Amino acid sequence: MPYCWSDTPAPNEEELRLWPHESLPPRGYAGFLGATFLLASIPLYPLLGTLLLWGLLPFMALALGGLWFALDRNHRDAQLLEVLRLTPEEITLTRHNPDGKAQTWACNTFWARLTLHARGGPVPNYVTLSGSGREVEIGAFLSEEERKALYHDLLRHLPRQAG
């Protein structure tokens, strides 16, 4: 699961950290770009020593550069973290965005409500927390099954949730 409950120094405090799943580790990233270059260059071998090769090389370089840019952009966009802190008095959700900015929502624990929107949200099984006049999403970047598991996990940790 791309989330975990972490130990906190305070005895009555819990912390949940959520992050997007990253399916391509750095070694896989380099291997994929290398394999793509190798496979894309195979049709160019018969053109070695011809003027046509020099006409096609810029397009191959452009395609590989575009692939590199897209993978790198995807990796940067996935660098986000959501931290949910639970205390007997307050629930705080902080989202650390890829651009370095943080968004924070806080609510009295007694009034917080957890909701699983099976339909009607931007994604199936959309999980939200509401309280203090606002409703915020949590774990929207998780898969559908992971959001269901997160919902049931949060039900066990949040007080006063009817399910």
CA dihedral 148, 149, 152, 158 (to 10 degrees): -110
Q: Given this model, what pLDDT does residue 12 score?
A: 84
- How many whole angstroms from its chain centre is CA 2? 8
Label residue 25 by pLDDT band (50, 70, 90).
confident
Q: Given this model, what pLDDT does residue 162 score?
A: 47
Q: Given this model, what pLDDT does residue 160 score?
A: 65
Separation between Cα atoms, residue 17 and residue 105, nearest integer Å: 15
Give the contacts of 64 (CB within 8 A, at least 6 positions apart): 33, 36, 37, 40
Separation between Cα atoms, residue 18 and residue 83, nearest integer Å: 6
The one-letter amino acid code at 133 reads G
Q: Which of 104, 69, 79 is nearest to 90 (CA)?
A: 104
CB burial of 33-54 (b: ≥16 within 10 Å; e: otherwise) equals eeeeeeeeeeeeeeeeeeeeee
Contact 131, 107 (CB under 8 A): yes
**What angle is formed at CA 45 by the lines to CA 44 and CA 47, rounded to 5 degrees?**
70
pLDDT above 70 covers a percentage of the chain that reads 96
Q: What is the pLDDT of residues 92-141, one digit of tens each?
A: 999 999 999 999 999 999 899 999 998 877 888 889 999 989 999 999 89
Label residue 163 by pLDDT band (50, 70, 90).
very low
Q: Which of 62, 41, 37, 64 is nearest to 53 (CA)?
A: 41
Q: Which of 137, 144, 118, 105 is nearest to 21 (CA)?
A: 144
